[in-house]
Structure 1
Amino acid sequence: MCKCKFSYKTSTSNLKKHINKRHPTITLKSTITASESDTHIYRSKTDNGESMESAVDNHPSTSKQTQIACQANAPIRITQTKVDSFSNILQTKISARQKNKIDRKLLYLCVKDLQPFSIVADTGFREFVAALNPSYQLPERRIISKTLIPALYEECLTNTKNLISTGKTFCVTTDGWTSTNNTNTSYVAVTAHFLNKEFNLISVLLECSAFEKGHTAENLAAFLLKAATKWDIQDKIVFAVSDNAANIQKALQLVRWKNMGCVAHTLNLIVKDGLKNERITLILEKVREIVRYFKKSTISNNKLLRYQENTGIETPLKVILDVATRWNSTYYMLERFIRLEEAIKSTVAIIDKELPVINVEEWNIIKELCLVLKPFEDASRALSGDTY
């Protein structure tokens, strides 16, 4: 090693730069075993290949300046003014590439988990990030919304266009729905499907936006054609799938796309028609009234949960209320109702509320109804996926 001498007052920057530049083979090994021990070991190799260790003592010095000598055949002993000096000099700033990688993970957090951009200003989150990597500086909320997200959007848009450009022919699916909040906003979505060279099914959401116009066939046709033209696939669509509503069926005829009603939606219509049986309708209304009461009454619901806990159930279940537009939610309601049969019977018996009485025969009908609906539920679940 060299015989250079360095002086320092408050830091060891000169020593660190010298070691990194002139002696890159030297690595730092901590030998601190207690608060009294403050020694580090440098390991390196001499010109003849022999291993050499140099000790570094970090105990405070009484002198303002300490001369440091690097000698070839003797241990190097360094006395420092601070115990954590070497931890400070080893802490380096992250590269631009590393920061960009972490920034993208932050954007993924916001986009994937629907986290607000303001999370970067939250004290707890900032401390959490600092604990993971003190060198990383979180971007400001304004930078995220004005710079990072728009840049990521453009990148995603370009990649998606390139992906779609590889498709030769497409099938599109479309559906509409209304939000359940107070705005009652209507939405329409269009998804394109195609096979890549490896014969894998690729699905890309082309459009999902609020639909403020009337749901006429003409307006829907204009919306569909605009979405297809935006992605330059209007002449490559060979088939379209939608529900069986008259307006969307006519809209597909107007844009001259061959179409077929959704099988899952057809199953939904079949089952809903079957549930219109008068006897079944009366039983379902009884079940719904009981379920609504438990969902409305916190006290009664707690009694229902407590009964399950007292019978050894580790994870008590709550009742489920169905949705009128989805028959499978009726199946889920009845299936849960059967699982909670004993708990419901026992709880209803002790609460001060007149609720419908479900007799033994009606309980049997509910159980048989679930057996009939189960295959339809399995089929609907399979058909509702995008990998069948």
Structure 2
Amino acid sequence: MEGMYATGLVVYENGLTIFAIVLLICSKLAFYTGARLVGNASVRRREFSASVIHLDETDRVFLFFLIGGSILAGAFAFSEAISVGVFSGGYFGGGGLADARGEMWSEIYSDKATASPMKSMMTVASFCLAILLPFFYRGRRFFLLFISLYSCLVVVAEALLSAGRFSLALLILCLIVSFSVALQKTRLTEVVSWRVVLVVGGMIFYSLIVFPVQRNPELPYAVAAYLSWLADAEIASWVYEIAEIPGLSWFPVLAYSSSYFSGSLDKLSFFVSYTEVGDWYTLGLYNLPIISQIGSALGFTDYYWVEIRQSIAGTMNYVGLAGNPWATGLRDFVIDFGSFGAVVVIALVGMALQACYVRSLNSMSIYWKILGVVASVAAFIMSFVSPLQIRLIANTFVALLLFILVRWVVTLATRRKSVGMISNW
């Protein structure tokens, strides 16, 4: 992210303030320190066997509920696909994706925004089973492998129906990490060869950057206009000079794409230096939308997350910026806990994510495997947004931690009962 900002492909009007730079450095040091306090992973290497993951009776019950939730999620996705005309061709070709995305954001910024906890948990079930695909593959558990493939399709279908691209990115990232853990590899090139990376990367680059410009030569000017509307930024003049070279007319589109990474730093600097979000102290209501989600669904509280989101959008609109920016996870934690509190919380987050990852590498339980994978991806996306802001990640953490708590209580009660029976005997 910092490297992309330093390239200068996109020039931001205000630049980074000293306070934002210091705060960013402190947060990175805090995260690293928290992770180091937990310690590095010491993986116990195991020979290949069908017992890469272990399922006891309690785990089988948990897996049964995951499968049931994923099947129901697939059924709901199929019925929704029929209702919006996916199979008739009117969804993708008739502006259905744009309508779905517009409806999603209208709901988010509505005072009556609601989200079904039950549907969220069904989505979590599909997501968890999709993450377990490499482990089922390595363990030759073919029925569960089929269920995982089905769950992957469910996650993809729900992402397409809601026009949510981020869910697809999360699925891909989680599968990459999951394969590396299941195969006990630490480098991407140990999981996928350089040849595959180069071929697939080249295809993606051509599809997303080069081909759109070949089809529409006016696209470089359109993305420049959109960037100026979206943020206080413009594409650097030297980018257009390079674009004049034959065959490189797509370079401004590449520069615009880089703003997805560098723009979050600019927005972080804007919020912590020129606004009062550091004095809001919403104490977790922004980074834990599940609190508002459940409370609103049950009629106990207002949807506080939406109110905070609307305040952020209002702050940006006041200075002429478009809404929905990714302003790093640091900005999101500043809203809840202030500048100093955000650094402390980020250190705790680093400890928690590292603990989950280390435990997952040395555990054969499915829930720790899932937690370790999700923790790794959560650490990665903190450069863009707080992982707890992503409902799929936050709900997965909550569901798995609740299961671990219930499992611990059941195990403790069983042990006490066994000790009591021995004492009576």
State the TM-score, normalized to the length of structure 2.
0.21
Q: Which has the higher helix share?
A: 2
Q: Which has the higher contact order (CA 8 A, sep 6+)?
A: 2
